[in-house]
Amino acid sequence: MRKKVTLPILVALCILTTSILVSSHPHFRKSVTAKLPDLELKLEYTTYPWNPSHLAEVKDGFIFNCGNASVELSNAAKHGSAVVAEGKYQLRARAKDVDNWTFLLVPVPEDRNAKPDMMKAIELPTKTFTGRPVRNHLLLDVSAGHGETDNMALFVLLWGDRELEGVLADFSMPQK
């Protein structure tokens, strides 16, 4: 009697597990490594899907985790008088409103159980572009600047119809 009850339950569980695996949408961890003048950085994040209905929730001060992005800098990055020390950071974007965002680098605490201190967040000069062709999954990269950001290293985030460009470092002046 026990075998007769157990077998249908096992079959149902196998079917359920298989259907979940087949129908689940893949989100995977990506790593980008960039070798810049006197600086190597590693960017890691998860490819989240675009959901435009979430924009209704965006208010001033909303923090987007950018796919749980983290950045590791081998040396300090300099932009004007601003210096981002070497180390590990969380890359986040804070909303001024739904169409205006600012990249933040938040130092990762040494204690893995401690919450990051948002008061220590470093705000990067950021431009937000809207009305771009829709990207269905989050894409983060490190790119060379153009126009007024020529000779600069940028974080670029593409997600849905949004694009953010944040200046990390300026290489137009010799690094010291």
Contact by Cβ (8 Å): 152, 170: yes
48-73 confidence digits (pLDDT tens):
888 878 777 888 998 999 999 999 99
Measure the CA–CA gap between 98 and 82, rounded to whole angstroms. 27
109-164: pLDDT as tens digits? 888 888 888 999 999 999 999 999 988 889 999 999 989 999 999 999 998 898 99
Model's pTM, two decimal places?
0.81
Please name the residue that has the structure tokens 């593409």: 158
8: enclosing H helix or E strand: helix 2-23
Domain ranges (residues) in the chain? 26-170
Per-residue pLDDT at 82: 86
Q: What is the pLDDT of residues 3-48, one digit of tens each?
A: 555 666 666 555 555 444 444 566 789 999 999 988 999 999 998 8
Contacts of 132 (CB under 8 A, 6+ apart): 158, 161, 162, 163
